[in-house]
Structure 1
Amino acid sequence: MSRRSQTRVAAYTALLQTLVNTTDRQRETIEELNRVSRTRDLFLATVSHEMRTPLSALSMRVEVLLKTVKDLPKPVESALLAMRVHVRQEAGMIDDLIDAARTLTGQMSVNRTRASLGGIVRDAVSTIEVQAHEKAIAFSVAPSDQGDSIVVYADTHRLQQVLWNLLLNAIKFTPPGGAIQIRLVQSNGHVEIDVTDNGQGIAARDLAHVFGAFTLQREGNTTGLGLGLYIARRIVELHDGTLTAASAGKNQGTTFTLRLPLFL
């Protein structure tokens, strides 16, 4: 073998060894990332469940005091009512953590049945009426039957959770005296549900990230973990649908569009 051939073989051998070493390092890195991911998911699921038990006990005791103790001093009653609000907020965040853990581990599932969209919409609206009233926000749903004639194949509890999240989000970022509209439109075997507000809007640079896990819009937001929209989109995807967001920018309001297949 000529000297030039020997040099070429040595170069190829060195290059091949470099590729092998790089591949080994990449495999080790991927294995480590997978291990960290599994540990994180297990941590989320375990801690969330462990936190739920004492909160449930605390919530029960607060309710017992409010319902059974007569003539509570006003400061005590106010403190208990505030505690009830805070406990419910914390319980909601724990539920979000549990759902997020299920999503990350692929364990979230839906139990779909034939259902009228009207009942789902009304149930979702009823859960946020108090918050909307407190901020004097005008609410409207079109058409007037609120979707009674529209039939979907859905997990009613989970779909209500999605709508509740979108509505609560709209209320949170809409100023007092604002307006929120739900609009239902059927088209080509699908139904589109638009939740539109005239609130603070979303900057163009943030639109691509609103459905990310732990993405928290800071302005005007004092509660939450930034998981609601992340979970909502995953639930919609399990229904073979899509969830998108649109906004003209700051103080221009936001529209979330939920698109689901009709039950045919």
Structure 2
Amino acid sequence: MRPLDRIGSIKLKLGILVGVSVVVAVSLTAVSGYLGVRTRWTLPVVIVLALLVTQLLARGMTSPLREMTAAARGMATGDYARRVTATSNDEVGDLARAFNTMAADLAAVDRHRRDLVANVSHELRTPVSALRAVLENLVDGVGQPDRATLQAALHQTERLSGLVTDLLDLSRVDAGIAPLVRETVALQGFLDDTVAEARLSRRPVTYVVRVDPADLTVHGDRSRLHQLVANLLDNAGRHSPAGGTVTVVARRAGDRTVLEVTDDGPGIDPDDRAHVFERFTTGGADGTGGTGLGLAIARWVTQLHGGRIEVAEPDRPGQGCRIRATLPGGTTA
């Protein structure tokens, strides 16, 4: 029972508690005097009833504190599912709601840590197992160190390298270590160079770059912006069908610069668009999902530059995924 929940101040509740106890004591004393009951019998009864009233009111006031104590002990053993009943409007209620928020955040962090270990273990196991098999075949003389075999080993090594790079970037995100070395970046040459690197993956897609105006520049960290565009290109290339087109567009939008990467893949379900930038969300209904870190890193880089990133609506029927990063500033040379 919490009869004082609607009162918004713990001080007022304590005042009411004291006032009710005094009223009960005075009333019982007056009634006993009127009935002629002796004081030695009246006093114990008054004290007991006053304590009962105090206990009734105080129990409701302190029950969130007891729940918080029990929940904190559970958290110490790894149980983050317990929550506190926060129905009062006073300072204790505010504390209970803040405690519930903290418990939810800790539960999310713990779940994320478990997902991190599980996903990294899975992602590392596949290339390591494949690389080990190739090397064992070469050592045992089963296979020959021909071009195809060495190319397979190189591919798995590159996959490991990419995962390690993503994890290092992820550690920088968590540590908040991300100094920006800003400079003026000419987007036409920058995007051409980044797309040329993407073509080295030899995916069966065509890359198209459009910059409007052609001398558009942006003030930012070149290496971080390279991470942003390279991850978007990698995501688009993986999800585009053979013979598809990946289009990179840079344009002015008022006082901002918009970077858009579009593919011809199956697109992203509207219900999933809010989650694709979360870590280890691979999407990939077509079975081409990567580590699930690329878009999370892209969001991080965009936010470092004071911008935002989103999955935009397709601008034509049949268009696949269209990811838009909006960066502050943007000038012409």
Query: TM-score when scaled to structure 2?
Result: 0.61
What does residue range 206-225 of structure 1 map to in structure 2 within 5 Å? Answer: 206-222=272-288, 224-225=290-291
| 190 and 79 in structure 1: CA distance in 2 versus 1, 3 angstrom threshold | same
What does residue range 1-264 of structure 1 map to in structure 2 within 5 Å? Answer: 1=25, 2=28, 6-25=51-70, 29=75, 30=102, 33=106, 40=113, 76-131=146-201, 134-135=203-204, 137-143=205-211, 149-222=215-288, 224-247=290-313, 252-263=319-330
Matching residue's letter, 1:182:
V
Mapped contact 1:240–1:261 kept (Cα < 8 A): yes
Q: Which contiguous aligned blocks of 4+ residues in structure 1 show a shift greater than 6 angstroms?
A: none
Structure 2 spans left out of the alignment, 5+ residues: 1-24, 29-45, 76-101, 136-142
What's the CA shift for 1:219?
Answer: 2.4
| 193 and 263 in structure 1: CA distance in 2 versus 1, 3 angstrom threshold | closer
Matching residue's letter, 2:187:
L
Alignment root-mean-square deviation, CA: 3.4
Larger radius of gyration: 2
Matching residue's letter, 2:220:
A
Instruction: Please name the residue that 1:67 is paired with.
Output: none
Percent identity, aligned pairs only? 27
1:195 counterpart SS class: strand
What's the CA shift for 1:104?
Answer: 2.1
Instruction: Please name the residue that 2:9 is paired with.
Output: none
> Is 25-34 or 153-162 further displaced after alignment?
25-34
Mapped contact 1:140–1:181 kept (Cα < 8 A): yes
Matching residue's letter, 2:320:
G
Matching residue's letter, 1:9:
T
Q: How many residues align?
A: 234
Query: TM-score when scaled to structure 1?
Result: 0.75
What's the CA shift for 1:224?
Answer: 2.5
What's the CA shift for 1:244?
Answer: 0.6
Bigger relative CO (Cα 8 Å, ≥ 6 apart)? 1
What's the CA shift for 1:206?
Answer: 1.3
Mapped contact 2:185–2:217 kept (Cα < 8 A): yes
Instruction: Please name the residue that 1:68 is paired with.
Output: none
| 151 and 216 in structure 1: CA distance in 2 versus 1, 3 angstrom threshold | same
